[in-house]
Amino acid sequence: MSERLPVHVDPLILADRGRALSGTVPVSACKRLVHWLDSGEGEFAAELQFGRDENQRRVLTGRVRGRVMLTCQRCLGAYALDLDLPIGVVLVDSEAEAETLPEEVDALVVGNGATMHTVDMIEDDLILALPLIAKCPDASDCAPAVEVFDSERMSGQDAGTQRPFADLDDPGDADNS
Ligand SMILES: [Zn+2]
């Protein structure tokens, strides 16, 4: 099996030395990402290359691959999504330096001389790769849980007292004036 990526690195020194890192990151280590997932199981395989681009800017390029479990918003079941993302960012010392870059360049602010969590370098890209609304890729396996819930509630004895759309009557009242 591959080794774990180091937890902390100094991206600017790695870029100056043209170093490459490869290894795995547990999905559960990506705390912000896990918030959007059905579970924290699995791991990512990352290949990260630090160096300089043709403009002598320090850059991080590479690739992150792995499988995450999402909660389908239709049937509320879990399903797997394979991610395979290119990584490509310019490493900068500060927000001020980031603002000097062309718009099409993605900047990653790293404190000068400071170490950084490896996860923080890839987690934003992973979060952005998630679908806005998670839905099973195969619709035939996906029975909408919301409709079942609604029909149960409507047949319940409280159905008559609940008028979630009562506000919709208001425009009619306005017409009378
Ligand atoms: Zn589903």
Ligand 1 midpoint to CA 87 (Å): 30
For residue range 17-32, list pLDDT tens digits in order. Answer: 999 999 999 999 999 9
* Residue-level pLDDT at 159: 46
Tally of CA atoms within 13 A in the half-sphere of 32 that contains its CB: 11
Q: 1-5, 92-96, 158-162: which range is least confident on average? A: 158-162
CA 91, 64, 23, 61 dihedral sign is negative
Q: How far apart are the CA of 142 and the centre of ligand 1, in A?
A: 4
Q: Is the dihedral of CA 143, 145, 146, 152 positive or negative?
A: positive
Q: Which of 4-8, 136-140, 163-167 has the lowest mean pLDDT?
A: 163-167
Centre of ligand 1 from the C-alpha of residue 154, in Å: 23
Angstrom distance (rounded) from CA 137 to CA 131: 11
* CA 146 vs CA 91, 143, 153: distances in Å: 45, 9, 11
How far is the centre of ligand 1, averaged over its atoms, from the C-alpha of 30 (Å)?
24
What pLDDT score was predicted for residue 52? 96
157 CA to centre of ligand 1 in angstroms: 29
User: How many whole angstroms from 162 Cα to the centroid of ligand 1?
Assistant: 28
76 CA → ligand 1 middle, Å: 6
Average pLDDT, the chain: 85
pLDDT in tens, 97-149: 999 999 888 999 987 777 889 999 999 999 999 999 999 998 888 988 755 55
Give dist(CA 27, CA 37) in Å, integer: 10
In the reported structure, the alpha carbon of residue 41 is separated from the centroid of ligand 1 by a whole-number distance in angstroms of 19
- How far apart are the CA of 145 and the centre of ligand 1, in A? 8
What is the percentage of the chain residues whose pLDDT exceeds 90? 66
- Average pLDDT of span 8-12: 93
For residue 80, how far is its CA from the centre of ligand 1 (angstroms)?
11
What spacing in Å lies between the alpha carbon of 60 and ligand 1's midpoint? 36
**What are the structural domain ranges in the chain?**
8-158
Q: Mean pLDDT lowest for which of 48-52, 115-119, 166-170?
A: 166-170
* Number of neighbouring beta carbons within 10 Å of residue 118: 21
